Structure 1
Amino acid sequence: MSDTPAGVVDLLGVLAYAELTAFLRLAEDAATLAPSLNDRAALSGLAVAEYAHFRLLRDRLSWLGADPEEAMAPFVSSLDDWHAQTRPGDWLEALVKAYVGTGIAGDFYREAARHVDPETRKLVHEVLAEEVRSEFVVERVRAALAENPQLTGRLALWARRMVGEALSQGHRMAAARPDLALLLVSAASATPSPEPDAETGPAAGREGPPVRGLDSDLVEIGRLFARLTEEHGKRMAALGLVPGP
């Protein structure tokens, strides 16, 4: 309702626009890049699922008393830029983007959802489920690599470029939306950290949380992005691609 934290509205807004654009891009790729009718139908099915996710998020925003269009608006430029900079040139690039690019974005949103209310967290995990997408993409990409192993280097380079763009956009988004960044900092700082000293935390025996500052928050966000990169490596391995150094 009106007392919904701004960070929750930001999270649902960015995720809603991400799902809407995923629907549009997957539908376009299905129509223009799919090599067979079966592939076109399968990718179109994924696109339909993305639109269903968008509707769930839109309805949740409305129920919370937020205007869905206003909630999505701050993220249009960043997400549109990412899609423009990572437009696939062929079918296999489209598949890798659907799995790797969307996957690392999903990791970003899941991290932010660790410190929101249970209903919102459940919805975020529901719309980011990857099982069907993963099975479809991994099967197609692995089959293509088995037929032509020389594709590995090109697709691995494509995936690294995509993720680099995604992390760059994520950094800018966090800097521009402090309430969303606060969710990410909270998620990052949930991992164990060294005992505070005289400069970074309370004195021995004094109650209260460690004193945090901008530098500390940026360090924690850096660690969070390192975890996202690690998950990217796991997806690369699932596809049969060789992660970069």
Structure 2
Amino acid sequence: MSDSPPGVSDLLGVLAYAELTAFLRLAEDATRYAPSLTDQAALGGLAAAEYAHFELLRDRLASLGVDPEKAMEPFTGPLDDWHALTFPGDWLEALVKAYVGTGIALDFYREAAVGVDDETRNLVDEVLADEGRSQFAVERVRAALQEDPKQAGRLALWARRLVGEALSQGQHVAAARPELAALLVEAAGEDIGRMFARLTEKHGRRMAALGLTPGP
């Protein structure tokens, strides 16, 4: 049995499954969409980093006396649904998803980790480290937009869809796992609005970095 505070096992479980699925999706995107061997190798390297993060989370859960598979199980449905609803149609959509869509989802978990113990928070910070994903996506999307500016509208709409689906699935997770939701509420204090403002601001910065507009 785990003696960790309520919600910590859920936080580590959802992160572990998020990192595992990120590894699988990036590896798939590298094979399916990467336009060159250089891009395929680079995306494969990012996938390997995600798997290393998964291993850290799995080992931390085990050290707490929590079965990693059982900790991840409640989140397989919502995360699998999000990936199914946001399956990229091409290379640029895959890059925007890896940067914008995954980014805002992980921001939620980073917020939830504010109130946990130092060891857990440090682990969360480590596994949420960028590992070059931002630079990789930004460089390639901006280059594509310079070559064909008309792609911007399509990709901006795609990014808004990604974020909308991420928020919707996040609500499903929170409703199903109240202890995880409590971590988020406790971290935000009484000012949930300010927390969402931070998330929105980070999203806006990501869109600007890509050369896209956040939209309404």
TM-score, with length taken from structure 2: 0.97
Paired position in structure 2 for 1:85: 85
Are 1:243 and 2:204 an aligned pair? Answer: no
Following TM superposition, by how much is the alpha carbon of 1:2 offset from its aligned partner in structure 2, in angstroms? 2.6
| Distance of 1:24 and 1:53 partners within structure 2 | 13
Following TM superposition, by how much is the alpha carbon of 1:225 offset from its aligned partner in structure 2, in angstroms? 3.4
Paired position in structure 1 for 2:31: 31
Paired position in structure 1 for 2:150: 150
Runs of 4+ in 1 over 6 A off after TM superposition: none
Larger radius of gyration: 1
| Distance of 2:89 and 2:155 partners within structure 1 | 11
Going by fraction, where is helix more abundant, 1 or 2?
Answer: 2
Paired position in structure 1 for 2:112: 112
Q: Name the aligned partner's letter for residue 101 of structure 1.
A: G
| Distance of 1:72 and 1:224 partners within structure 2 | 25
Q: How does 1:148-227 map to 2 (within 5 A)?
A: 148-189=148-189, 220=192, 223-227=194-198
Return closer, same or farther for 1:235/1:17 CA change in 2, 3 Å cut-off.
same
1:202-234 residue CA offsets vs partner (Å, 9 max, x unmatched):
xxxxxxxxxxxxxxxxxx3x5533432221111
Query: Which of the pair has the greater relative contact order for Cα pairs under 8 Å at 6+ separation?
Result: 2
| Distance of 1:176 and 1:2 partners within structure 2 | 20
Following TM superposition, by how much is the alpha carbon of 1:171 offset from its aligned partner in structure 2, in angstroms? 1.2
Structure 2 unaligned residues grouped into runs of 5+: none
- RMSD between superposed Cα atoms in Å: 1.2
| Distance of 1:46 and 1:6 partners within structure 2 | 32
Q: Tell me the SS of whatever aligns to 1:243.
A: coil
Following TM superposition, by how much is the alpha carbon of 1:134 offset from its aligned partner in structure 2, in angstroms? 0.8
TM-score, with length taken from structure 1: 0.85
Following TM superposition, by how much is the alpha carbon of 1:131 offset from its aligned partner in structure 2, in angstroms? 4.9
Following TM superposition, by how much is the alpha carbon of 1:4 offset from its aligned partner in structure 2, in angstroms? 1.0
Paired positions, count: 216
| Distance of 1:190 and 1:63 partners within structure 2 | 33
Structure 1 unaligned residues grouped into runs of 5+: 192-219
Are the aligned partners of 2:49 and 2:131 in contact in 1 as well (CA < 8 Å)? no
Following TM superposition, by how much is the alpha carbon of 1:105 offset from its aligned partner in structure 2, in angstroms? 1.1
